[in-house]
Amino acid sequence: MKFLIKTNSLTHCYRSGTKDEVKALDNVSMEIHQGEILAITGQNGSGKSTLARHFNALLLPSKGEVSVKGLSTSNKQNIPLIRKIIGMVFQNPDNQLVTSLVEEDIAFGPENLGLPQPEIIERVNWALHTMGLQELRRENPHSLSEGQKQKVAIAGVLAMKPECIILDEPTAHLDPRGRREVLESILQLNREENITIVLLTHFMNEVIHCDRMLVMDNGSIKIAGSPCDLFQNGENLKKSGLELPVASKIAEGLRQEGFNIKPNIINMEDLVESICQLK
Amino acid sequence: MPIEVIDLNHSFKEGTPFEKQVLFDISLSIAEGEFVGIIGPTRAGKTTLAQHFNALHIPHKGKVLVDGWDTSNKKTDLMTIRHRVGYVFQNPEYQLFAPTVGADIAFGPGNQQLSREEIDKRVREAMALVGLDYNIFYDRDIFALSGGQKRRAAIAGVLACKPKVLVLDDITAGLDPRGREEILAVIQNLHNSQNITIVFISNSMDEVATVAQRIIVINNGKIFMDGSTREVFSRFNELRSIGLELPEVTVFIDKLKDAGFNLPDGILSVNEALLSITATLREMEGSR
Amino acid sequence: MELTKNITLGVYLPGKSKIHNLDPRTKILAVTLIIILLLLSRSYVAFAFSAIFIGALVIISGIPAGYALRGLKPMLPVLVIMWFFQLFLFKSPGATVYFNWWIFEATAAGLHMGNLIILRVLFLFIVTTFLTLTTSVVNLTDGLESLLKPLRMIGLPSQELVMTLVIALRFVLILAEELEKIMKAQMARGVAFDRGNFIQKTKKIFPVFLPLFIGAFKRAEELIVAMDARSYTGGKGRTKMKTLQMSNADFSAAAIMLIYSGIIITTIIFTPPMI
């Protein structure tokens, strides 16, 4: 499998050289594979955002190296190309939408790339269509629900045709319906457009849809693996301030009661199936 | 009755071309010591309704009574009402303004013309209630706090006003699981040990299901349901019809029922689910 | 409490009238021309003609007149004070004196000067509000960008300036909402903004603006990062999705503006000035 992003002994210090120096990342080495959905979890302040902002050169390593398709982010000349390959969506949609009209906002990225007018129009239409936002194209983002705003933000990144989208807690401020809609769009982008997804989140019911997960704690990667494997060992996750998905909790409880529940259960469907086999 | 709402109607931007009615004929009452959850889709009117409880909104039509005081009566002192009903906003940490934790918490009681000793006593009590150590945090710079600590400081700032009713408007949004657990524990303790009436607005059904005793569902500015937590969450088809998601555990139990298991209605927590599934499975084993 | 209710400057009222559909550049140029003519007008007759003309525009646009004037409400006290200032303090030798006390002297010249200033402020406000009520923010900024483009040659960073305006306009409503929330949070903790004397009231503002500014800076910082991530590097090398196009309606509007300007200039020359 090909690596899209690779970090090598990445260390990052904020306010470096002053007495308030804070080491936010400590010797992190990891890879992101082309086409995968990777979840990065961990408590607030564990370093997830700092790590993610190295992937598109918003932050540069204090030590170590980050490369995107072999291009090092430390080389200034690579940055425009890296930002074209890697798109980023942030937590608060209100702080990332630039204009007062949905379609104009989606055009903002392609306009920055200096694309010819017909291509901008085509890309905006495509992004609106892919995210199911056609009806909202003439709206002011201010009048949309938080979930819709976040979808506009994703469409704005999508219109730049990135190979990978990083989403930094995109659902943290959404209601359950907005959360589900945004998650579904993200999964669909991975499935249908083959876009690599890096999802930073606290919600375990989002992590269970991912191929792989990393747990960050105190600036380094504590645990890495598939959600199925990691949710078998709840204690490790709890130490990093995380909780198990509901299905894993119930499965674990039933096992302790002596019932024969299949291992590796992380979602409700599998749990129901496994309980039915006990009938 | 701490809060009584009678035929309340409310419109935004009244008298402009953008006028929009957001609350329609709402009547409800909240009794002393209740823990009421308010849920509903985004922009259903939950916040607008709750801001009537402490006279941040004054009814244009209908009445809101707080301990019998009519908020739309010109003679009512709104400050008295706001002391009785505390309100914690979403992301309350963004509203902190004093340089230190102690100064910010003392702001509310300071507005009540209390003696210095009384203010200090209240700050101590409020900090204890939210689990911030007075000796460590009193002089702490606001900017040196973590997100969860800031939020607890903000809640303490409202508690120091000694409210009888506390309205909490989506106060767990954006916290990580540990931070959320801590805040919920603080709230439950307030309710149990201080007998404060709690109005808890939330987008997280799992959270509401575990803490609230009664739930009011608001949809399109009207009361859609009002009943005990179990009762409300056992009517899932209706809840789904207005676009609400159910607590994960409730969805799971529903799926098991569809698969032919005989389980009780209104199961809300992981522990309850475990107990009843275990009981049912044991029963089936026994009858085999 | 609703802070956003009385903001009309910068608010767009969607509609399908002939005026809504004009090219934004036409509207910006027309409003600029009207403002210049208003500043040149010194006679009641000229203001009367302008009033009729602007009144007709408002009727054609279908905007409720009451709403167009609503934004004046908070300015009213200032206008009244300004009027009294002119009335009592503007002195002109030989003018009729109505009233005299200490250093105050109400003269005919002062009365007309007061009227002139009030009329100008009033008309300026109405005309600019009218422009934003009938033109969406996006059209307005597109129009401005297009009109300012030639100034790039003399080194004015017009695209960047317009982008700043675009962002500012987007954040006006967000910040107004935030201000409302912060004020409500303080009211909930016992602050009565409407009580006390001037100094006491001013003191209460501080705890409101501090979190507002901190919040605004935080937003600005996040926005910069987000724009950076979307490859924004300033106006250079940027292309646009939309280009503006003039139509026949715009040429008719230009003709109407020409006639209006002719009438006003004639009245300015041939009718007696107020003072």
Q: What are B172-196's pLDDT values in tens digits?
A: 988 888 889 999 999 999 999 999 9
Homologous superfamily in CATH for domain B3-95+141-234: P-loop containing nucleotide triphosphate hydrolases (3.40.50.300)
> Model ipTM?
0.89
Nearest-angstrom CA–CA distance, A67 and A85: 12
Using CB atoms within 10 Å of the CB of residue B175, give its burial: 0 to 12 exposed, 13 to 18 middle, 19+ buried: buried
Joined tokens for residue B71? 């908020």
Each residue of A87-119: b (16+ CB within 10 Å) or e?
bbbbbbbbbbbbbbbbbbbbbbbbbbbebeeee
Residue with tokens 């203010």: B119
Residues of C in contact with B108 (CB under 8 A): 189-190
Nearest-Cα residue of chain C relative to residue A162: C230
B111/C190 Cβ within 8 A: yes
Q: Phi and psi at residue B80, in whole multiples of 5°?
A: -60, -45
A156/C230 Cβ within 8 A: yes
A110 in contact with C, Cβ within 8 Å: yes
Residues of B in contact with A146 (CB under 8 A): 42
The residues that bridge with A63 in the sheet, in sequence order, are A11
Nearest-Cα distance to chain C for A262, in Å, is 44
One-letter amino acid identity for C66?
A: G
- Complete DSSP assignment for C88-136: HH---TTPPEEEEETTEEEEHHHHHHHHHHHHHHHHHHHHHHHHHHHS-
Interface test with B, best of A250, A270, A271 (most B CBs within 10 A): A250
Residue A62: per-residue pLDDT: 95
Measured over the CA atoms of residue C14, residue C17, residue C23 and residue C25, the dihedral's sign is: negative
For A100, residues 6+ apart whose C-beta sits below 8 A from its C-beta are A140, A141, A142, C136, C137, C138, C166, C169, C170
Section C118-128 average pLDDT = 91
Nearest-Cα residue of chain B relative to residue A146: B42
pLDDT, mean over chain B: 92
Each residue of A122-152: b (16+ CB within 10 Å) or e?
ebbebbbebbebeebbebbbeebbbbbbbbb
Q: What percent of chain B has pLDDT over 70?
A: 100
For C110, residues 6+ apart whose C-beta sits below 8 A from its C-beta are C86, C87, C88, C89, C90, C91, C92, C95
Nearest-angstrom CA–CA distance, C264 and C47: 9
Q: Where are the domains of chain B?
A: 3-95+141-234, 247-288
For residue range A216-232, list pLDDT tens digits in order.
Answer: 999 999 999 999 888 88
For residue range B66-117, list pLDDT tens digits in order.
Answer: 999 999 998 999 988 999 999 999 888 888 888 899 999 999 999 888 999 9
Q: Higher pLDDT residue, C136 or C222?
A: C222
Residue A209: per-residue pLDDT: 95
B83 in contact with C, Cβ within 8 Å: yes
A203 in contact with C, Cβ within 8 Å: no
Q: Where are the domains of chain A?
A: 3-230, 245-279
Using CB atoms within 10 Å of the CB of residue A211, give its burial: 0 to 12 exposed, 13 to 18 middle, 19+ buried: middle
For C13, residues 6+ apart whose C-beta sits below 8 A from its C-beta are B17, C63, C67, C133, C134
A109/C174 Cβ within 8 A: no
Strands A3-14 and A63-68: antiparallel
B51 in contact with C, Cβ within 8 Å: yes
Residues of C in contact with A76 (CB under 8 A): none
Section A251-268 average pLDDT = 90
A3-230 CATH, one of 3.90.1150.10, 3.40.50.300, 3.40.50.1820, 3.30.70.270: 3.40.50.300
For residue range A10-62, list pLDDT tens digits in order.
Answer: 999 998 888 888 899 999 999 999 999 999 999 988 999 999 999 999 999 99
Q: Are B28 and B5 in contact (CB under 8 A)?
A: yes
In angstroms, how far is the first alpha carbon of chain C from the final one? 44
One-letter amino acid identity for C255?
A: A
Please report the residues numbered 59 through 98 in chain A whose beta carbons come closer than 8 angstroms to any beta carbon of chain C: 80, 83-84, 87-88, 90, 92, 94-98
Residue B288: per-residue pLDDT: 65
Mark out chain A residues that contact chain B at CB-CB < 8 A: 43-45, 91, 145-147, 169, 172-178, 180, 202, 205, 241-243, 246-247, 249-250, 253-254, 257, 259, 268-269, 271-272, 275-276, 278-279
Residues of B in contact with C210 (CB under 8 A): 97
Section B162-179 average pLDDT = 91
Residues of B in contact with A49 (CB under 8 A): none
B203 in contact with A, Cβ within 8 Å: yes
Nearest-angstrom CA–CA distance, C183 and C179: 6
**Angle in degrees, CA C134, C139, C142, rounded to 5:** 150
C67/B89 Cβ within 8 A: no
